[in-house]
């Protein structure tokens, strides 16, 4: 078991809750504002990536972050051009809510030579997009539809199937800028049915929402879009 996942799994077993910040390389600037944002001691992980990012932009941001952050940096790649050997690990995302073969297995196969070359830790993650009442960039890029938030059975069964398949984490995502975050009821149901670390993100804008997600069963709560608009919010969220 590799080091980053070992920590995630250990925290999952002990019930320790974590906070992650998601930075979109196309939006995050290499300046003091970003440095102040990610230097908050309450941030456990920094996820870097997006649905569509220009070549080499991710690597430049990660190199900048590595000069001063103490949090673990994980790649949240939307495509192969975002791969960077400067991170601590890669969330190896499979979009199980959709049926686009490229995002289920195709791009993963294409990335194998890179992983073999760089010996990077890959954390196989079941990425499940749930309708957040807004069309997300993930939908547009992958040409897939999210699962309806009212179809709790399908959401839970998709998460359970990922456990049976051997995935290491489940990531419930309402989407960047979602109007409606993942509900407490959905988090509770998935948590009670799946024995894997649970990551929850999308549409989370307040400390109350972070706390509710944690209490409902999320092991790692991810905040992103709200901080892109108002970086000073980090001081009120944790």
Homologous superfamily of the 3-237 domain (CATH): FMN-linked oxidoreductases (3.20.20.390)
Rounded to whole angstroms, the Cα distance separating 65 from 29 reads 11
Q: What is the mean pLDDT of residues 129-144?
A: 95
pLDDT at residue 2 tops 60: no
pTM: 0.96
Going by pLDDT thresholds of 50, 70 and 90, the confidence category of residue 174 is: very high
Structure tokens at 165: 């398949």
Token pair of 232 as six digits: 């000073």
**pLDDT score at 37:** 86
Asked if residues 105 and 79 have their Cβ atoms less than 8 Å apart, the reply is: no
Q: Is the pLDDT of residue 1 over 60?
A: no
What does the pLDDT read at residue 236? 75
Degrees to nearest 5, angle at CA 50 with 74 and 136: 135
Domain boundaries, the chain: 3-237
Spatial contact of 64 and 96, defined as CB atoms under 8 Å apart: no
> CA torsion, points 111, 2, 211, 202, in degrees to nearest 10?
0
Residue 87 has a pLDDT of 97
DSSP secondary structure letter of residue 146? P
User: What is the pLDDT confidence band of residue 214, given thresholds at 50, 70 and 90?
Assistant: very high
């Amino acid at each position: 078991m590799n080091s980053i996942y070992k920590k995630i799994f250990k925290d999952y077993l002990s019930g320790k809750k974590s906070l992650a910040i998601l930075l979109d390389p196309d939006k995050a600037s290499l300046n003091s504002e970003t440095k102040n944002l990610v230097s908050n001691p309450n941030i456990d992980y920094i996820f870097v990536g997006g649905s569509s990012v220009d070549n080499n932009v991710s690597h430049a941001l990660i190199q900048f972050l590595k000069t001063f952050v103490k949090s673990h940096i994980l790649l949240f790649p939307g495509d192969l051009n975002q791969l960077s050997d400067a991170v601590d690990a890669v969330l190896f995302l499979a979009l199980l809510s959709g049926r686009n073969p490229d995002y289920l297995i195709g791009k993963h196969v294409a990335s194998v030579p890179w992983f073999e070359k760089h010996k990077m830790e890959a954390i196989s993650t079941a990425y499940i997009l749930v309708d957040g009442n807004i069309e997300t960039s993930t939908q547009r890029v992958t040409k897939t539809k999210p699962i309806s938030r009212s179809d709790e059975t399908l959401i839970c069964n998709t998460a359970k199937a990922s456990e049976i398949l051997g995935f290491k984490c489940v990531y419930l995502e309402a989407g960047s800028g979602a109007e409606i975050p993942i509900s407490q009821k959905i988090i509770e149901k998935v948590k009670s049915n799946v024995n894997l670390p649970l990551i929850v993100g999308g549409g989370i804008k307040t400390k109350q929402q972070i706390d509710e997600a944690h209490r409902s069963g999320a092991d790692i709560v991810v905040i992103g879009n709200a901080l892109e608009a108002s970086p000073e919010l980090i001081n009120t969220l944790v």
